[in-house]
Structure 1
Amino acid sequence: MPATGRRSDAGDRTLVAKRPPLYYNPTTRALFDPKANVLWAVDTFATNVPTSMPEMAALSPDEFRDGQFFGGSLVSPWGALLDAQKFGTVVTDFQHLNAEVIAGCHCPVLRGAQIPEAYDLLRQLPGIPPRAEFTQTDLDQRMAVAESSVPPEQPRPSGT
C-alpha cells in the first residue's frame, strides 16, 4: 500500500500523515517527513527505559527487546487480539516509509540497524501474552499506600 494520508505543504516540504500500527487513540496519526526521512511514530515504538536517554542505542539488546514488548503492550493492550498476518501487513506498509530516524512520544530516538529490528519486534507483538489488567484490588492497594503517606492534616486521596 502506498503511504497515504493528509498532506501538508510547507514550502517545498510535504508531510505524510498516516495511522501508525500502534496507538491508544483512534485519531492518532504519525507524521513522516520524506525530505528529511524522519518519522514521528507517536506510540508505535513505546519503550520502557531505565533512565532518561536521547537514543535507543543506549539500551542493551535485551533492554531494547523487553522495552519494545512492554511499551507496545502497555500503550496498545489490544495488540494481543490482533491477527498476526494482517498486523504484519500494516507494519510492513508503515516500514515502507523508509525512515532513517524515528522519534515518538514514549521512546528514545531510533536510528540505523535498530529500525528494522524494531519493526521485527513490532511484528511479534500479537504473539506476546497480554499483560495482567489493573484490577480493583490493585487500585485499593495503591490507594492504601498513598493514604498512608499523607500527613494527617492533609485531605485523603480517597476524599477527592
Structure 2
Amino acid sequence: MSAICVYCASGPVAQDYLDLAAEVGTALATAGHTVVSGGGNISMMGALAEAARAAGGSTVGIIPRALMEREVADLGSDELVVTETMRERKRLMDERADGFITLPGGIGTLEELFETWTGGYLGMHSKPVVLLDHLDFYAPLLGWLDDLAARGFVSRRSLDRLLVADSVPKAIEFATAR
C-alpha cells in the first residue's frame, strides 16, 4: 500500500482532537497504509502513531535533532529518522509520502500544509493534498482562501488542488486516490 504523511498538532489540545488523530491512525493502519509523521510521541502526533501501531500498522517518524527532547521523540516508531534541520525533515516527509492529510493544528501544521499544497500546485509533485476540516476547524481559513480567490490573489485552479474532506474515511479516500 502507500505511505500517508499526516500533519497535526504536537502541543496540548482537547481530547476530541486526540481522538481524531487516533481515528486517522487506526483507519490508515487498518487499510494497510504506512503513517509518516513528524516523529513526536505527544499530543495528536503521538495519538496518531500509537493508534496506527496498535492497529498493526507501520509508522515512520521524522524529527529534527533539536526537537528530540522538546517534542519527545516517538522512540516506538518502526523507523525514526533524525534530521539536522526542519527543512530536511519536511523534505524527507515529502519524499516518503504518497499523499498528505492535514488535521487540525497550529502554525507548524499550517506551514507544512501550505508548502506541500504549493509544491503540488507548482507541479513539483502530483500527490494528493487533503485538508480534513473536522467540525469546521478550517472553515475560517477556507473562507479566507475563497476571498483571496475573489480578489484575484489565488487562482481557482490552485484552490481545486486542495482536497477538502469532512470525515476520516473521505480524507483517506482522497489521500490514497491514484
**Could you tell me the TM-score, scaled by structure 1's length?**
0.28
Say which one has the larger Rg.
Answer: 1
